[in-house]
Amino acid sequence: MDEAELWRRVTADGDDRALSALYERHVDRVFRHAARLASDRRDAEDATAVAFFELWRRRDAVRVVDGSPLPWLLATTTNALRNLQRAAARYRRLLDTLPRADDAASAEEDAFADENALAVLAPLGAVDRQLVTLVHLVLPPRPDRANQLRVEVRCLTPGTFTFPGGSATCTAADLAANPAGVVSWIDVPLASVGSEVAVSAGRGESWRLTATFLEAEPVPLAVNDRGQTYGSSGAGEEPDLIAVVATNGREGYVDADELADATGSSQKVASPDEALRWQGERAGQAFVVPVHLSDGVTRVGDFVVQ
């Protein structure tokens, strides 16, 4: 099957098998491009994973050249690598500000150092704080028939937790109402995940992650009184309302157009350079999408895209 047909299936049908085929076709080329620019193999691997994840997430906005998304992938990989390198530089500067001792520290000195580190971290922005709290979880072997991964994060303390395809914000009030923890989840195509799941959170915040392999099958969409379709993606069609879990743990639906605006998938760009500029303008921002019941009217919470 030629590349143009594979890409058509990705954009028109949301075909994750076609995305997998494109991944197999281009991953080596994208990784070599990243490896030439990176000083560390892990950074090259991370930038490659980011590029393919963004290819799926923003598939409606990707500008292809002669039917191929490869030029967009290379430009996105370059941008992702620059972000990683800037992050690493900020991390190194942060480490340089922390106190150092020549001799082994006592328990009291350790406690003081921890408080000092917290004082250093406190003025930092959200992106900088996440640099020291990024955790990579290695996934087990995939079942043969699995095509999606459900990422479920249970907040155990107040804070903001970012994971593939979404994020969750928990307040003290949320936890008071849900002592066992506030749960947020999202289903993502396996082709866009890779072998690891990355979760970031603020220093001192606690969470529990569950990753579940799924075999998703299209089902007919339901229709509410306003004529809006809702549910999981049906055969060859996307719902007007998409199922999510709000940051307060309530299940509901977000408007597909509002979600596309928040994630950027509705953005149309004319060139890779324009895509890079647009991505840079959005870096570090959070976009809030209201979550409703299936009637599309009754609001039950918010869904945050970062």
Beta-bridge partner residues of 159: 170
End-to-end CA distance of the chain: 35
Q: How confident is the model at residue 197 (pLDDT cuts 50, 70, 90)?
A: confident
Q: Are 258 and 299 in contact (CB under 8 A)?
A: no
Q: Which domains does the chain have, with CATH numbers?
A: 1-123 (1.10.1740.10), 134-305 (no CATH)
Q: How confident is the model at residue 268 (pLDDT cuts 50, 70, 90)?
A: low
pLDDT number for residue 293: 92
What is the C-alpha separation between 306 and 300, in angstroms, rounded?
20
Alpha helices in the chain (DSSP H): 3-13, 16-37, 41-57, 70-97, 107-121, 126-131, 172-177, 256-263, 272-282
How crowded is the C-beta side of 226, counted as CA atoms within 13 Å? 12
What is the pTM (predicted TM-score) of this model? 0.38
Q: List, in sequence order, every beta strand (DSSP E) within 116-206.
A: 134-138, 148-155, 159-163, 166-170, 182-189, 196-201
Q: What is the pLDDT of residues 95-141, one digit of tens each?
A: 666 555 544 445 444 444 444 444 434 444 444 444 445 566 677 78
